[in-house]
Structure formats: structure tokens, C-alpha cells
Structure 1
Amino acid sequence: MVTIVGYKTYSREDGSEFYALVVQGGVEAVRSQETGRTYLTARQAKVACTFDENTCESLIGTSLEGKIKKVNVEPYEYMIPDTGELVTLEHRYEFISDVDDIIDDHVIAEEAVV
């Protein structure tokens, strides 16, 4: 289960705007690789949508079936907003509906079967 906690406005190349909902999963305990201490966090992901700004605003607090999953991607640089530190990441977080999660876990790609 995830909760819509906000939204973000993006601009297209033609100058028009669209919105993405910010969804957040439940609280997770994570061990710091640097200090070895446990801290609490919640994963977030942005999901593009076709809603206008008023609809996005009204959806804050709504729960959706699904989860936020860590997905490996090509390395990219990211600046940590609080510190300005530039780091290289090889993952992102994506919202996965319960149905998509079941399909991902149980369907074998055709290439793997042949």
C-alpha cells in the first residue's frame, strides 16, 4: 500500500505542463552502510498522470494498492539537495501495482523459455 503525499509540476519541450503524483510507501528500517546504525525511512516515487493540478491536490492522502520497488538502471549522477554532494546512483524507485508485481514475479520471459 502506498499513499499519495504530493505532486510535482513538469514542463514539456513545447512549454506545456504536466503533473506527476508523489507516492510514498510505508516506514522501513534501513542499516546505514557508513555508520552501521539503523534509521527509519520511506521510499518515494513519482508517477506521471493525466490529472490537472486541482485533481492532483485533491488526491493527496489517497491510498493505492501496490508498492515502491528499487529498480537497477544505468549509472547517473545525483546531487543531494541538503549537502550539495554529487553521487553516482545505479537505481531508482518505481511504483509497482499489485497486479504488475505478481506478473513480474511469476511470468517468464519468452527468451528465457526458448
Structure 2
Amino acid sequence: MLNLKIKKTMVKIVDFKTYQAEDGKDFCTLIVQGGLEAVKSQEKNRTYLTARTARVSCTFNEAVCKSLIGSDFPGTIQKVEVDPYEYTIKGSGEIITLSHRYEFLGEEESIVKENVFKEEEVF
């Protein structure tokens, strides 16, 4: 019998951003936010609350994006390891090096990712 962990998680559309493509056309991305989570500060080892956010490309115009703010839909936001890059902290202007980003996973994708094990080499 197959025992899958299926938990219904949701993200909320909290904003959108408009960009210009190389061909000069405007396109929008929706900014989605996951649920509340507690994390530990690396410097002071204190707990604080945060929520992960990610940008998701879409085919909607600005009017539709505005109308979608506040909508919930199934999915999660997961941390993904990437090549190191520099990031400027908005409040302080401090430049730090990060090696991850947050990515939206739809409901089906998230179920598969949580329930499929990576193949490991055995020597």
C-alpha cells in the first residue's frame, strides 16, 4: 500500500510587479506568499516569524493582477539551492551573499517532491 503525505497548503497572492522583456513588451509576475513560519536568527539565535515569498510568471495584464491580490490557491514556496549571488538588504544597504532562492511549487508538484526519494549511490 502506498502511503503519501498529502497536506493541503495554500499560498496567497500579495502583490504583482511589471517588467519589460527584451523585446520591449511588458509582462507581469505575481508575488505569492506562503504561511507563517518561525526561524532562528543566525547572529542572536532568537526566534522570529516570517513568511516566504516568490515571484510567479503569468499571462495576466495589470488589471487582472490587481484583481487577484488577496486570492489563495494550492501550492507551497520552497527553498532551492542556487549558485551564490550578492543581495542588498533593503533596510540597511548591507550586501550579503546568498546561495538560495524561493520557488513556488503547485499542489501536484509539491506532493511529488515531498513523497519521492532521491536516488543515492551505494558503494
Task: Give the alignment's TM-score, normalised by structure 1.
Answer: 0.91
Structure 1: gaps spanning 5 or more residues: none
Residue identity in the other structure for 2:50? T
Runs in 1 of length 4+ with deviation above 6 angstroms? none
Deviation for aligned residue 1:32: 0.4
Deviation for aligned residue 1:98: 1.6
Sequence identity (%): 55
The residue aligned with 2:54 is 45
Q: Please state if 1:63 is matched with 2:63.
A: no
Q: Please state if 1:81 is matched with 2:86.
A: no
Residue number among 8, 26, 34 corresponding to 2:17 in the alignment: 8
Which one has a larger percent helix, Structure 1 or Structure 2?
A: 1
Structure 2: gaps spanning 5 or more residues: 1-9
Q: For 1:10, what is the secondary structure of its paired residue?
A: strand
**How far does the alpha carbon of each residue in 1:43-99 deviate from its partner, in whole angstroms, 9 at most, with x for none?**
100000000000000000000101110000111111111111111100000111120
**Aligned residues: CA RMSD:** 1.5
Residue number among 56, 74, 93 corresponding to 2:102 in the alignment: 93
